Amino acid sequence: MAIERFEDIEAWKEARILTQMVYRVSRGERFARDFKLVNQICSAASSVMNNVAEGFDSQSDKEFIQFLTYARRSATEVQSELYIALDQEYIALADFETIYQQATKTKKLINGFIRYLRTSPTKETKD
């Protein structure tokens, strides 16, 4: 299947799920009162999907890879912030593990897409 829109990218689809999960748990009563952490983790989660989308409109594979790298870093940031939420008892261990694994799945897809772009014989500049 050809990728015609950023919504066709599997990594973006999984990043969207990650974002939904993060927003859902951040609405918990105790979690929601930690405005700084809520803002940080929600921003990082949305940054994953937004960087994939933004990179899709890059003028070159090299630039797209840079945006995918930012997306991967943001997913790692989400994982780190999940530890804060867990340690502060804002989320249950089961939620932590589920969201952490979703971030890992998303990062693996991003890594695979980066590998694909590095090895694909595509032209460097998009139309």
- Which amino acid makes up residue 24? R
Q: Where are the domains of the chain?
A: 10-119
Contact 48, 107 (CB under 8 A): no
Phi, psi of 118 (to 5 degrees): -70, -25
Alpha-carbon distance of 118 to 49, in angstroms, equals: 20
- Tokens of residue 116, six digits: 């694909």
Confidence of residue 122 (pLDDT cuts 50, 70, 90): low
- Which amino acid makes up residue 81? E
Alpha-carbon distance of 73 to 67, in angstroms, equals: 10
Q: What is the pLDDT of residues 10-20, one digit of tens each?
A: 999 999 999 99
- Tokens of residue 114, six digits: 């980066």
Q: What is the pLDDT of residues 56-91, one digit of tens each?
A: 999 899 999 999 999 999 999 999 999 999 999 999
Q: What is the pLDDT of residues 82-104, one digit of tens each?
A: 999 999 999 999 999 999 999 99
Q: Give exposure, 3-34, as e/b (b: 16+ Cβ within 10 Å).
A: eeebeebbbbbbbbebbebbeebbebeebeeb
Contact 52, 9 (CB under 8 A): yes
Q: Which CATH class is domain 10-119?
A: mainly alpha
Confidence of residue 125 (pLDDT cuts 50, 70, 90): very low
Q: Tokens 């589920």, residue?
A: 98
Q: What is the pLDDT of residue 121?
A: 74
pTM as predicted: 0.92
